[in-house]
Amino acid sequence: MKKPRILILGAGYGGLMTAVKLQKKLGVNDASITLVNKHDYHYESTWLHEVAAGTIAPDKARFAIKDIINTSKIDFVQDTVLSIEPDDKKVILEDGELEYDYLVVGLGFEAATFGIPGLLENAFTIGNINQSRLIREHIDYNFAMYNNEKEKKPERLTIVVGGGGFTGIEFLGELANRVPELCKEYDIDRDQVRIINVEGAPTILPGFDPELVEYAMNSLEKRGVEFKLGAMLKECTPDSITFEKDGEQETIATKTTVWAAGVRANSIVEKSGLEHNRGKVEVSPELRAPSHPEVFVVGDCALIMNEETGRPYPPTAQIAMQEAEVCADNLAKLVKGEDELEAFEFINRGTVASLGHSDAMGAVFGDKKLFGFTASLMKKVIDNRSLFKLGGIGLLLKKGKFNIF
């Protein structure tokens, strides 16, 4: 009998974790498994703000996919997915096409720019290693240029971060630590540098615990971050942003706008013909696409409703990795001819956000609040846990965060 063909798209938290679990559950003769990813490396998306601020090197946040997968069981194809054709059970790549019996879509997220004029062309986003490296280089370049021009341009030293959600806040925390180093390196007075956060809601981290929000604001303000709250970013040009607050518009001159105000699923999903809800596949409890049950969707491309709140679970690495485990279990069951599949249930282990290298805040184990050093330590434990789950002790020792102080 022909072996079933399992095709996994994307080697992020969802896709790579599915592959790692499947290689443990299935033998070479059970199925032919292929993993496709744009790059030959996996990056820790949850560390990209550190790469963007320049507080860690890009190589720290990535590792070779072939070091993690068992290549005798999984065929790795480095290629870019162009489209999914679920009715024909095939996927079109830049360099060919692949057919499947079972598909796992784990193509992750892209920035949501909501049609705001100039954002797509002029703002930076923290979406992958290349984009993050570009932000770091761009900030460095502008600091270097500042003292090389007769007419000083303060907009070179003004960094605007659009959005005060978790990504924006974690990036601000890193920036607040990095800027003093940059000032020293390029002979610039710290007082000449502005780091500004523009957040549309009346508070940063809307909906999060107010005590933790206040802690984060204080920590960032103490290090020189300015907040514009209730301020909707309306336009971005190469040299400025404009926001609206209380019905008034204000423009800030800046050469660096980093847009961190929301994500959407990879747009390949919306164009695929799979039934979707605002670009994501609202999966069945077994994580299958309702219109095409041989297609599983994990991570930021999947939508799962939280029955308690009536709203979708936020897209996180935490949920992506949990989904991957159930997805791998269910695929293994189907391959072995079992038809009673497992239903996914999210176990919320809490949320901890870093505020730079040695500060953080968050809530774990239900409602246990953590601040400062303890929270920062917990964040590193969480980051290390994800490495361990993907690549075991070897990967943890190679890439782990052990610089606690």
Residues taking part in catalysis: 170
Taking the C-alpha atoms of residue 380 and residue 386, their distance in angstroms, rounded to an integer, is: 10
198 binds ligand NAD (CB under 6 A): yes
Helical (H) or strand (E) element with 387: helix 372-399
111 binds ligand FAD (CB under 6 A): no
23 binds ligand FAD (CB under 6 A): no
What minimum distance in Å lies between the beta carbon of 271 and ligand NAD?
Answer: 22
Q: Contacts with ligand NAD: how many residues (CB under 6 A)?
A: 25
Taking the C-alpha atoms of residue 303 and residue 199, their distance in angstroms, rounded to an integer, is: 25
Residue 373 amino acid letter = F
What would the DSSP string read from start to end of 341-383? PPPP-----EEEEESSTT-EEEEETTTEEEEHHHHHHHHHHHH
Residue 135, token pair as written in the block:
């932000």
Task: Name the closest residue to ligand NAD (Cβ).
Answer: 165
Strand partners, 237: 240
- Give CA 19 to chain center in angstroms: 19
199 binds ligand FAD (CB under 6 A): no
Residue in this structure with the two tokens 């019996």, named with its chain if needed? 101
Strand partners, 75: 34
232-291: which residues touch ligand FAD (CB under 6 A)? 266, 268
377 binds ligand NAD (CB under 6 A): no
What minimum distance in Å lies between the beta carbon of 321 and ligand FAD?
Answer: 8
Q: Which of 10, 15, 108, 168 binds ligand NAD (CB under 6 A)?
A: 168
Q: Which is nearer to ligand NAD, 50 or 329 (CB)?
A: 50
How many other C-beta atoms are found inside a 10 Å radius of the C-beta of residue 147?
A: 11
Q: Which of 6, 7, 8, 15 binds ligand FAD (CB under 6 A)?
A: 15
How many secondary structure helices (H) and strands (E) does the chain include?
9, 28
Q: Contacts with ligand FAD: how many residues (CB under 6 A)?
A: 34
Taking the C-alpha atoms of residue 198 and residue 201, their distance in angstroms, rounded to an integer, is: 9
Here's the x/- map for ligand NAD, 78-117, by CB under 6 A: it reads as --------------------------------------x-
Q: Which of 77, 134, 145, 201 binds ligand NAD (CB under 6 A)?
A: 201
In the list ligand NAD, ligand FAD, none, the entry touching 107 (Cβ below 5 to 8 angstroms by class) is ligand FAD
Q: Which is nearer to ligand FAD, 183 or 377 (CB)?
A: 377
Q: Which is nearer to ligand NAD, 81 or 320 (CB)?
A: 320
**Burial of residue 152 (number of CB atoms within 10 Å: 0-12, 13-18, 19+):** exposed
Strand partners, 362: 352, 370
Taking the C-alpha atoms of residue 271 and residue 123, their distance in angstroms, rounded to an integer, is: 25
Residues contributing to the site for ligand NAD (CB under 6 A):
116, 162-168, 170, 198-201, 206, 232-233, 260-263, 314-316, 351, 353
- Binding site residues, ligand FAD, CB under 6 A: 10-15, 36-39, 42, 45-46, 48-49, 80-81, 106-109, 126, 128, 167, 170, 266, 268, 299-300, 315-318, 320
